[in-house]
Amino acid sequence: MNPLSTAADAPLAPFRIAPRFVSRVWGVRDLRPWHDYIAENDPIGEVWLTGDECVVETGACTGSTLAEVFAGFPEAMLGGKTPTAESPLLLKTIFAKDKLSVQVHPDDALAQKYGQPRGKTECWYALAAEPEARVACGLMPGVDVEQVRAAIVNGNLEDSLNVLPVQKGNMIFVDAGTVHAIWPGAILLETQQNCDLTYRMYDYGRPRELHVEKSLEALRLTTQAGKVAALKIADRTILVKGSYFCVEQLPVHDSRKSSTLAAEDEPGGMLSYLFAASGSTRIRSIEHRFEAIDLPTCGVVAIPSNTYPFVVEDQSCSKSLDKLNLLRISTRWP
């Protein structure tokens, strides 16, 4: 039986998603130890973990794309909280050998003006960072739009950027309209609205299209972007909480029931993802509704809005330096 032909409002078991390796000119070829993958041809810059074309690799929907699962099970996946049966979030791991372009993303209103469904607010969680790792996030105080335009022409836009040092475990919020750039030295987990819309302002002479006028229209001179201080509460640490997503660090002492994963103030029935930033875990059904799912480092398991009870079990070796660091990324609705 085709699982996508079953009742759309029935519970859907958690499932692991296979990563999709996306080539970028600024990427790397060897993604180990984060992903067991060595590129034979073009370097890999992004590993899409929840992209529309990513394929389900466990459970009844094995072999289906994530887009097909959302279209087939909108109630189970999203809980009826959105008018569209589409994935709201895109998770990526970013591997940069060279500097990315200096760029900006539009907000929802501007994206829709140009025929796109949504804009792009994002955040970066540093999985690892070298001592000199840096990112650019926002403009220096006092810089105006005409100065940005002139700096693009003159090739010195970096001088106008607010540069932040990056350490392992840092969370950086980048709301739509923020001029930004990722530079080499850090491996990042990016959580963003499910939109691949980027306006390049400056690209270090690489032969790729620039979008200067649209980027100037999209940029905001002042944004909320920057490092976010972690907020530790009783049973979790909130890394960032915004209009579109919430990223939390969940302690797991041997095991943790699914009923404890959502925060007390969180509305019921939220789509979420579990991501192993380090270590490994196992998702086991309490009622024997689905086979156990192993979640390795840098792996992602989708937790549908309407799902079966389960337990998260820490599979990391007690003597290992690679302790479990489990992140929960949940969808929020503006």
Q: What is the mean pLDDT of the chain?
A: 93
- Enclosing domain of residue 201: 19-53+89-227
The last residue of a domain, from among 211, 227, 243: 227
Per-residue pLDDT tens digits for 12-61: 999 999 999 999 999 999 999 999 999 999 999 999 999 999 999 999 99
Q: Is the pLDDT of residue 214 over 60?
A: yes
Return the number of other C-beta atoms located less than 10 Å from residue 87's C-beta.
Answer: 21
Residue 317 lies in a domain: yes
83 compared with 219, residue with greater pLDDT: 219
Residue 103 lies in a domain: yes
pLDDT of residue 321: 54
The last residue of a domain, from among 202, 227, 252: 227
Same domain, 220 and 245: no
Same domain, 321 and 270: yes
Per-residue pLDDT tens digits for 229-268: 999 999 999 999 999 999 999 999 999 999 999 988 787 7
Same domain, 145 and 128: yes
* Pair type for strands 180-182 and 44-48: unpaired
Same domain, 176 and 248: no
| pLDDT average, residue stretch 279-292 | 96
Contacts of 75 (CB under 8 A, 6+ apart): 8, 9, 305, 306
Residue 122 lies in a domain: yes
In the structure, what pLDDT confidence band is assigned to residue 269 with cuts at 50, 70 and 90?
A: confident
Q: Is the pLDDT of residue 70 over 80?
A: yes
Same domain, 257 and 324: yes
SS3 146: helix
Residue 211 lies in a domain: yes
Same domain, 158 and 126: yes
Q: Please provide the size of the chain in residues.
A: 334
Residue 69 lies in a domain: no
Residue 78 lies in a domain: no
| pLDDT average, residue stretch 4-9 | 58
> 169: buried, middle or exposed (CB in 10 Å: 19+, 13-18, 0-12)?
middle
Split into its structural domains, the chain has a count of 2
pLDDT of residue 126: 98
CA triple 24-27-28, angle to 5 deg: 135
- Residues 148/143/136/231 CA torsion (nearest 10 deg): -140
Same domain, 47 and 149: yes
Same domain, 296 and 318: yes
Residue 60 lies in a domain: no
pLDDT of residue 1: 36
Contacts of 36 (CB under 8 A, 6+ apart): none
Residue 113 lies in a domain: yes
Per-residue pLDDT tens digits for 101-117: 999 999 999 999 999 99
Same domain, 203 and 238: no
CATH number at residue 194: 2.60.120.10
Q: Is the pLDDT of residue 191 over 50?
A: yes
- Residues 206/155/187/70 CA torsion (nearest 10 deg): -70
Same domain, 118 and 136: yes
| CA-to-CA dists, residue 27 to 21, 92, 176, 184, angstroms | 11, 13, 24, 9
Same domain, 218 and 109: yes
- Are 71 and 81 contacting, i.e. CB atoms less than 8 angstroms apart? no
SS3 276: strand
Same domain, 43 and 101: yes
The last residue of a domain, from among 207, 227, 247: 227
Per-residue pLDDT tens digits for 114-173: 999 999 999 999 999 999 999 999 999 999 999 999 999 999 999 999 999 999 999 999
